[in-house]
Chain A
Amino acid sequence: MVIKMQTMEAVISLLILVSFISMLTLEQENTKVRTDTSLYKQQLANDVWRVLYLRGDFKDFSFDKNNSARDKTEKDLERIGELTSFCVFISGETLTNCRGENVGEKSISIEKFLIVEGELKKVPLTIAIKK
């Protein structure tokens, strides 16, 4: 009787222990879950591109450092950065409001087409949060 009781106790304790561990693991997983904002970030990246386009920044655009359109684009990116705390990178660090700055994790990256010096080019646009 005592031996059976001990076996039962051991089985119950094991079951409780296993369920306790799985519950704690579940809780850990649960705390990791955040609101999914991937679509929203994608829209914000598209907003940046659209705003630059509407302000005529891509007219006669060139990545050349002496190009006035490039300066205007960087000024607009600085304004966007002031409003949103974003660092925007167009074609890497070629065109950015955070040159040489330490930025946080890259939030989103999209690819757009742009006519640069008469040639159609695929240009990546990346957004990161300023540190």
Chain B
Amino acid sequence: MLNPSKNTKDKRAFISFDMMLSILPVVLMVAYTLTYVNFITENSDNLIKKQILHNKLVSVANLVVNDLAAKKMFPDSPEPVASIKPNWVDETELAKIDVEDLRKSIGLVKLYVGWKNNDNQIDDNLDYPKTCIYRIVVYAENKEIRQIFVCGE
């Protein structure tokens, strides 16, 4: 004859064991999912930051090329109104740009506006911002074709 109380105990033990086996993978999957969600959030956060930095650099470069560093010509009249030549960079105008002020106004840590040397480096400055964009311009009176760089962090 079978003992009924032993049978019930066996059944309970089986259910507990079965429950443990089903809960364990669920817990593991939930933990894995949470880690992955965290990874995806961080990833999209980085992408957004990258996009914002790119947009800021594009805006600065556009302002530099179309206005700040652009050659200005003043007609001979009592009230001279400068005729601005976009994409024609004038060294004097370029030197006048207050990069520090520009950097603060757009909320960047570092900002560089200028040329790169033949080694594709900013002269003697190892601490320059790593993300750069460029615009194609003409430079000086001989209208030499050059790239002007805007780098930021």
On chain A, the number of residues with a Cβ less than 8 Å from chain B's Cβ atoms is 32
Chain B residues within CB distance 8 Å of chain A: 15, 18-19, 22, 26, 29-30, 33, 36-37, 40, 43-44, 47, 50-51, 54, 58, 61-62, 65, 85-88, 133-138, 143, 145-147
Per DSSP, chain A at the interface is: helix
Partner of A5 from the list B15, B29, B61 (CB cut-off 8 Å) is: B15
What residues on B are CB-neighbors of A37 within 8 Å?
A: 54
Tally the A-B contacts, defined by beta carbons under 8 Å: 77
What residues on A are CB-neighbors of B50 within 8 Å?
A: 35
For B143, the closest partner residue in chain A by CB is: A55
Known: A23-B36, A27-B40, A51-B137. A33 touches B47 (CB 8 A): yes
Partner of A30 from the list B43, B58, B86, B138 (CB cut-off 8 Å) is: B43
Contacts beyond the supplied A16-B29, A50-B87, A54-B87: 14 A-B pairs with Cβ under 8 Å = A5-B18, A20-B29, A27-B36, A30-B40, A35-B47, A36-B51, A51-B136, A51-B137, A51-B138, A54-B85, A55-B138, A55-B145, A83-B146, A83-B147
> Contact: A12 with B22, CB < 8 Å?
yes
What residues on A are CB-neighbors of B33 within 8 Å?
A: 19-20, 23
What residues on B are CB-neighbors of A50 within 8 Å?
A: 86-87
What residues on A are CB-neighbors of B145 within 8 Å?
A: 51, 55, 76, 79-80, 83
Q: Closest Cβ of chain A: how far from B12's Cβ, in Å?
A: 10
For B44, the closest partner residue in chain A by CB is: A30
Contact with B along A24-55 (1 / 0, CB 8 A): 00110010010111011001100110110011
In the complex, A35 Cα to B44 Cα: how many Å? 11
What residues on B are CB-neighbors of A39 within 8 Å?
A: 58
Question: Lowest 5 A-B CB distances belong to which pairs?
Answer: A47-B136, A50-B87, A9-B22, A54-B138, A79-B145
What residues on A are CB-neighbors of B18 within 8 Å?
A: 2, 5
